[in-house]
Amino acid sequence: MAKSDQPALLQGTLELLILHALGRGPMHGYAIAQTIHLLSDEVLKVEEGSLYPALYRLELDGAVSSSWGVSENNRKAKFYEITRRGRKLIAAQQETWSRLSSAVDRVLAR
Amino acid sequence: MAKWWKKLSRRGRLEQDLAAELEFHREMAGVNGGTIPLGNAGLIQEEIYDAWRFNGIENLWRDLSYAARGLWRSKGFALSALLSLGLGIGVNTAMFSLAVEFLLSQPSVREAERVVYIRVGGGSHAEPRVVEIFNQSGVFEGVVGENDEPAINWNDGTETKPIFATQGTKNYFQVLGVPVALGRGWTVSDLDDVVVLQHRFWMRHFNGDRGVLGKTMVLNGRAYTVLGVLPEGHRTLMGFGYSPDVFVPQFVEGTNLAIYARLKPGMGLGEAKAALVTITARLRDEFKDQNRYRSPGEMTPVGGIARLQQERQALTIAAFFLVLLVLVGLVLLIACVNVAGMLLARASARTQEIAIRLSLGASRGRLFQQLLAESMLLATVGTAVGFAMAMMMVKLIAAIPLPIPIPIRLHVEPDWRVVAYAAALAVAATLASGLAPAWQTVKDSLAADLRKERRLRLRRGLVVAQVAVSFVVLVTGALFLRSLMQSASLSPGFDVRMTARAAAHMPPGAYAAKGRMWAYSERAVQELAALPGVEAAAAARIIPFNDATSHGLNITFPDTGEKRQVRYHWNAVTPDYFKAMSIPVSAGRVFVERDGSGPRVVVVNRTFVRKFLHDRQAVGAKFSFDGGMREVVGVVEGTKVMTMGEEAQPQMYEPLERAADGRTKMHFVVKSATPPGGQLRAMREALRRVEPSAGLEVATMYNSMGLAMLPSQVGAILMGAIGLVGLLLASIGLYGVLAYAVARRTREIGIRMAIGATAPQICAMVLSDAGWMVVIGSGIGLAVAMLVTEPLSMFLVPGLSPKDPASFVAVAVVLGASALLAALGPVRRAVGIDPMKALRWE
């Protein structure tokens, strides 16, 4: 694995966000980044440097599948689609995330 | 698995796909007016490749091709390393495959694991009736009898000569399932007069003619029909490479047979052994008058290591091979140390490269792996070279005709065991030669100043170890050589220079009648004695070193009634035997003609007197055993019986005329006034005049004693050769280290010369460097050799200690001399250093 300054939590979170975005339907990499950006009210910005490695990891794990298609502006683009395995992963990770975030909230509230 | 498949299927496209995807991403960002990301595409690539590629394997591949290119560039190094490893691995593989073939081979029968060898009554062979009883018991799928001993007389149209035959029962081929290359084996419905040929015999005497089937061969005066030919790699039940010339159905009535049984499918050895107890009980009932079936039977598998249990000598043979394997293992170690030394020297040239790579962020593990890849490549190619060398060596060894009167053929083929052994050697060689240098290189590459000194110290240590190991290997070789020399000077107790011997195999049918053999022997001795130049001729049942018969029984002394258990070697001879063999008579007389009738007399040797007669007056002593009373009329000096190295054995001789057993083989010995080689033809003709149908073997005594010399000869040659290979490799190692040390000290030597050091002083400096390594190595080697050569005493002639000082001194001298030789080149280079050039060096 490459050296990464991001803690494991954030990496896992990015994957959760990607899967969630793909839950709305197949889309290419740029669209995924845009979706996350918009859904987070332009707070979260996903760099390609972390987006693509995460996508390839997910594909290797079988959580997403990919195929080449044509984009809205008639360009050849690679589209990602969530798989059954990916949907299961969302459920599990969402659960983990909500436990974690509420725990962090509780700590900070005191 | 799914991941592997995904990785594999996408392997080729991965790079373009990713590039296209990133390109699209940037384009989109540009189109949408966002900032165009300037992230490091290379980094993304690396991160994704890490996950999507087979890193371990692809790195290994890269390392190997890098190492191959490196080795190609320094051909001298690669060649000498490959030669060292190839030699070491080749010698090892050759010895291993010989040992496997000799000790572990399976006989050529169907499902050999279900075939067992059975001993009953404590003897190796039993009456044919016993085989029948075993068959009738129905316990086994089938039981066969076999006798490997007989020579059968073959008349090839011009001459009658004895050839080696294995007699088998009628069900032999059916029960054992012996594969046949041509034709077929005999079955129960075949006639008695059929013969199956061994491949070698067929090739040699019938030129491999396929039309031989159905032809006839005259064996023992009868026409036998050739039924089949065995395949080339046929291995007999007896094993140890024994390969007779022909197989025939039992042709001598009442020949005792070795019993082999095929277990029923699913029958375990334990179950079979239990059944054996019941059958031996039946044998006891049927052979009430004989005591021989009282002892319980034994059962051993015919293949693999279990077979060795039935042969007492096998343990010595196995031990011999073990010593050989250990020695060649040590030679390989020396070879590996050589390669390690060379790798260390190479590593010092690569220190800069490695330091740069480390500072650029390469991990030490990665560099370590890369350095090991080089020695792995060397070891693998070395193993291939060694394997080829081994197969050549083995073919060569197996093709050498052994100077023994028994047909031995080893069929050595590389099987999975040999290949596995060679592979294991390759791994061991990789680790032994590569680990230390790679470790040292990676560890030292950042500590700039100390590294060279420490590396040299490691290399010196390696050379010291090499010298020590060579010392041990050389001492072993030297001990075997000394043993060979000493056994040549040992006397067998009879004359071997001026004597010749003959063996006559009579057609069994015609000579079964009582007295026929004696009548023949008497006439034959007369004919031989009448030959010009012959001083004495005699007939004997046994010629020492060719065969032996030992008896163990109880004797009773009539004067005191004392009983004593004795064991001695027996022989029956005509009166002139002692004269013909030059065996000195120390008391009393030898046989005379009247001993053929009247009271039975014996001649014994001094060991017999010392062991069994004690304070009795030897000549005139009387004792009785199963055949009645015997009187000792003479005492002679002893002879060796089977080997040069054996201790003095008690011996007893009887007049040949009184020894009426059914044996139809007779030996003759002739003492000649002229060199006996010239008598052989005349002897053959004389014997042929007496009985034209006899199968004859005639040879000088010296030549027919090959068997006695064989173990020490073969041992000395093999061990000596191994010792020399070890010495050669160690000298190369020493040379390498000295040359390197001189090169490294060029500047220092230059300065010394500039301030007035003389050539002899420089010379002494380099020599003392070498001297120390050799002295310390020899010291360690000496101590180790003292400890480990002890078990060798079982192979050495008695009286030669494994700590034989002469051998140790010789080895020390040889090592010192070759060290001096190895130092010669470096010394010359050191003395020839030009101070001015040296100071500008580096």
CB-CB contact of A55 with A14 (8 Å): no
d(CA A14, CA B168): 83
B342 token code pair: 């060379």
**More reliable by pLDDT, B829 or B397:** B829
Chain A neighbours among B 7-26 (CB < 8 Å)? 7, 17-18, 20-22, 24-26
B2 lies within 8 A of chain A by CB: yes
Chain A neighbours among B 376-415 (CB < 8 Å)? none
Q: Please report, as a single letter, which amino acid is at residue A49.
A: G
Beta bridge partners of B605: B636
Q: What is the DSSP letter of B107?
A: P
The closest alpha carbon to B176, from B226, B129, B238, B124, belongs to: B238
Residue B835's contacts (CB-CB under 8 Å, 6 or more residues apart) are: B750, B751, B753, B754
Judging contacts by C-beta atoms under 8 Å, the chain B residues touching residue A65 are: none
Q: In this predicted model, what pLDDT tens digit does every residue of A35-93 receive, in sequence order? A: 988 888 888 888 878 888 888 888 888 888 888 888 888 888 889 999 998 888 888 88
A8 lies within 8 A of chain B by CB: no
B523 token code pair: 């006439």
**Position A2 pLDDT exceeds 50:** no
d(CA A64, CA B655): 102
State the best of A1, A5, A47, A56 to mutate against chain B, taking most chain B CBs within 10 Å. Answer: A56
**Position A94 pLDDT exceeds 80:** yes
Judge residue B636's burial from the number of C-beta atoms within 10 Å of its C-beta, 0-12 exposed, 13-18 middle, 19 or more buried.
buried
Q: In this predicted model, what pLDDT tens digit does every residue of A5-30 receive, in sequence order? A: 433 345 568 888 899 899 888 998 88
Contact (CB<8Å) A52/B44: yes
Contact (CB<8Å) A29/B24: yes
d(CA B101, CA B103): 6
CB-CB contact of B242 with B406 (8 Å): yes
* Average pLDDT estimate for B329-347: 82
Each as own residue / partner, the long-range contacts of residues B78-82 (CB below 8 Å, 24 or more positions apart, any chain) are B78/B378, B80/B338, B80/B342, B80/B732, B81/B338, B81/B339, B81/B342, B81/B343, B81/B378, B81/B382, B82/B378, B82/B381, B82/B382, B82/B385
B37 token code pair: 């990301």
Q: What is the pLDDT of residue B668?
A: 94
* Average pLDDT estimate for B263-278: 86
d(CA B656, CA B571): 8
Judging contacts by C-beta atoms under 8 Å, the chain B residues touching residue A74 are: none
**Position B783 pLDDT exceeds 80:** yes
Q: What is the pLDDT of residue A7?
A: 36
d(CA B231, CA B201): 11
B39 lies within 8 A of chain A by CB: yes
* Average pLDDT estimate for B361-378: 80
Q: In this predicted model, what pLDDT tens digit does every residue of B50-76 receive, in sequence order? A: 777 666 677 778 888 888 888 888 777
B51 lies within 8 A of chain A by CB: yes
Q: What is the pLDDT of residue B463?
A: 80
Judging contacts by C-beta atoms under 8 Å, the chain B residues touching residue A59 are: 6
Complex ipTM value: 0.79
Name the 3-class secondary structure at B492. coil
Task: Count other Cβ atoms within 10 Å, centred on residue B2.
Answer: 9
State the best of B18, B44, B54 to mutate against chain A, taking most chain A CBs within 10 Å. Answer: B44
Cα separation of the two ends of chain B: 56
d(CA A97, CA A90): 10
Judging contacts by C-beta atoms under 8 Å, the chain A residues touching residue B18 are: 52, 56
Judging contacts by C-beta atoms under 8 Å, the chain B residues touching residue A48 are: 22, 25-26, 37, 39, 44
A30, A47, A53 ranked by CB distance to B24: nearest? A30
Distance from CA of A69 to the nearest CA of B (A): 12
Judging contacts by C-beta atoms under 8 Å, the chain A residues touching residue B7 are: 60
Q: In this predicted model, what pLDDT tens digit does every residue of B608-636 receive, in sequence order? A: 999 888 878 888 888 887 668 889 999 99
Q: What is the pLDDT of residue B780?
A: 92
**Position B450 pLDDT exceeds 70:** no
d(CA B699, CA B677): 8
Q: What is the DSSP letter of B611?
A: I
B769 token code pair: 């460097």
B31, B37, B48 ranked by CB distance to A47: nearest? B37
A47 lies within 8 A of chain B by CB: yes
d(CA B82, CA B106): 34
Judging contacts by C-beta atoms under 8 Å, the chain B residues touching residue A63 are: none
Q: Please report, as a single letter, which amino acid is at residue B678.
A: G
